[in-house]
Structure 1
Amino acid sequence: MEKRINGVALVISTYNWPSALELVLETVLRQTRQPDEILIADDGSYDATRQLIQHYQAVYQLPLKHIWQPDKGFRKSLILNKAIRQTNCEYIIQIDGDILLHPNFIADHITAARTGCFIQGSRVLLNAPLTRKMIQTGLLPLRPWTKGIRNRINAIHFPLLRFLFNRKSGSNQNIKACNLAFWRADYIRVNGYNNEFFGWGWEDVEFATRLLQAGCKKRRLKMAAVAFHLHHNTATRNNLQQNETRFIETTKNPHWVCRNGYIQAS
């Protein structure tokens, strides 16, 4: 499947947590198949994040681009669109800046890629003590039996069994952009993420809904592309109701191209 993909970009969204981002980048370095490009979608972090990225660019010569916008509140959709505008890679794998990757994460996503589909991966939740320990001391081995994790079944890496879970679906249930992959052409066809989402919540579900409306199918990916989610405090959800209302409007609208998205991002 890999030979059919003209470039794979890993997009990592981040905001003011460089110690977590450093752990994420360490797991990127350990990949059996490196992404062709790494895009850091930075929603207004302080200078420590820029310094960290410059270090990895210089020392490890990673194909790393830092796309930054001023901090004017939670504008994840906009910064994702700005970041993806910076790549010509054909396939996009999207994670958050607190997601640690199994060594086969990129390779598994490439194997799972199918034309006309987007891929929804799963995640393993790490508790606060385990997260603190890794922030302080560095990466630790993470296994299904590791103390301090939840969703243990999601920590199992057994790609030969992924077919049990990867049926095509037209459902927008359980969409989480912390482990998501899609074709750049499909993303552009729906005009990317909706920039009108402000604050936490619903922007990823709304994006996936428009992909489904455009004719794409969702495929779940389990037993492969394992991702570990560092513990953090819950983001403020002041705009959650407005975002949900915007999502509901999308479900009622058969036209899947958002008015303010990828093309308008600048």
Structure 2
Amino acid sequence: MTSALLISTYNWPEALRLVMISALSQTDLPNKILIADDGSGKETEELIRELQLKSSVPILHFHQTDKGFRKAKILNKAIAGTNVDYVIQVDGDCILHPNFVKDHLSFAEKGMYLYGSRVNILPTAVGKIFKTKKIYFNFLSSEIKNRTRTLHIPFLSRLYKSHEGISKKFRGCNVSFWRDDFIAVNGYNEDFEGWGREDSDLAIRLGNNHIKAKRLRYAGIVYHIFHKISSKDHFELNDKIQKDTIANRTVRVLNGIDKYLK
């Protein structure tokens, strides 16, 4: 099984550097790292070029012009640009536990997608972790809250069963899926512009296509770097799209990944 770690980013190279350091420090490395860049500037481009020269894993940079929040589009472009079997997706503000990739790959099963937890880094600690480039945390770390989510006990994860439908615990910043399942629903719906609902809409459509969900608890851990919430100007429209997906039991969207596939 080939795998890719997919990281979405926008104009926060300081955070992306820590995420990438944690990605390149994994106990099990993915076959590729894909950076889905929704219009960042030169500083991010230079950082990625620097990391490409150092990395033993191919790092592919997918960039689009900044025309507002168009995360769905750039994620589709990145996934279309690789032919791996399995995609592990995180946001560019989430530092990875050393066994993050290993956990997702260990629990991957056909007919199922995975979603994991995130530990929140305290607002007051962000400056410190940037200065020290800290990527390792544990239950006693002073920089975090949600302490029980830091516990890495994979055998307890086995107690969690797969389920139908989307969970209230689902977060798009920590999810993995089979690329074929993603393409079967035509990927992300690019009608979503602006913050909100693009990730959960995808998960709902995977479920509508008989793909079950499984929560990674005590495994697949990420540490979310605090930041101000993006503008929610488009949230009502995005919420309506998702409500239509639920009401119509939509599986495949029209405005999706197929336009980028060869």
- State if a TM-score over 0.5 links the two structures: yes
In the alignment, is the contact (CA less than 8 A) between 1:117 and 1:218 conserved in 2? yes
The equivalent position to 1:238 in structure 2, one of 233, 239, 253, is 233
Q: Which residue of 2 aligns with 1:83?
A: 78
Q: Which residue of 2 aligns with 1:110?
A: 105
Please give the residue correspondences for 1:21-32 in structure 2 after superposition, counting only pairs within 5 Å.
21-32=16-27
Q: Deviations over 1:89-113 (max 9, x none)?
A: 0000000001111111111111110
Q: How much does 1:252 deviate?
A: 1.3
Distance in 1 (CA, whole Å) between partners of 2:253 and 2:135 is: 42
Distance in 2 (CA, whole Å) between partners of 1:131 and 1:29 is: 21
The equivalent position to 1:142 in structure 2, one of 132, 137, 140, is 137
SS of the equivalent of 1:252 reads: helix
Within the alignment, does 1:120 sit opposite 2:120 as a pair?
A: no
Please give the residue correspondences for 1:145-224 in structure 2 after superposition, counting only pairs within 5 Å.
145-164=140-159, 166-174=160-168, 175-224=170-219
Within the alignment, does 1:251 sit opposite 2:239 as a pair?
A: no
In the alignment, is the contact (CA less than 8 A) between 1:78 and 1:265 conserved in 2? no
Scaled by the length of structure 1, what TM-score is found?
A: 0.95
Scaled by the length of structure 2, what TM-score is found?
A: 0.96
Q: Which runs of 5+ in 2 are unaligned?
A: none
Distance in 1 (CA, whole Å) between partners of 2:200 and 2:135 is: 32
Deviating 4+ runs (over 3 angstroms)? none
Q: Deviations over 1:196-237 (max 9, x none)?
A: 001000111100000000000000001111110001111110
Q: Deviations over 1:89-140 (max 9, x none)?
A: 0000000001111111111111110110000111100011222111122115
Q: How much does 1:255 deviate?
A: 3.6
Q: How much does 1:59 deviate?
A: 2.3
Within the alignment, does 1:8 sit opposite 2:3 as a pair?
A: yes
In the alignment, is the contact (CA less than 8 A) between 1:33 and 1:104 conserved in 2? yes
Give the residue type in structure 2 aligned to 1:128: P
Q: Which residue of 2 aligns with 1:228?
A: 223
Aligned residues with identical type, % of pairs: 41
Q: Which runs of 5+ in 1 are unaligned?
A: none
In the alignment, is the contact (CA less than 8 A) between 2:97 and 2:136 conserved in 1? no
Give the residue type in structure 2 aligned to 1:239: H
Q: Which moved more, 1:144-153 or 1:219-228?
A: 144-153
Q: Deviations over 1:46-101 (max 9, x none)?
A: 01111000001112343100000000000000000000011100000000001111
SS of the equivalent of 1:20 reads: helix
Distance in 1 (CA, whole Å) between partners of 2:136 and 2:200 is: 32
Give the residue type in structure 2 aligned to 1:168: S
Give the residue type in structure 2 aligned to 1:167: K
In the alignment, is the contact (CA less than 8 A) between 1:195 and 1:265 conserved in 2? no
Q: Which residue of 2 aligns with 1:49?
A: 44
115 and 142 in structure 1: CA distance in 2 versus 1, 3 angstrom threshold = same
Q: How much does 1:141 deviate?
A: 3.2
| Two-structure CA RMSD over aligned residues (Å) | 1.2
Distance in 2 (CA, whole Å) between partners of 1:129 and 1:255 is: 42
Distance in 2 (CA, whole Å) between partners of 1:216 and 1:56 is: 35
Distance in 1 (CA, whole Å) between partners of 2:131 and 2:250 is: 48
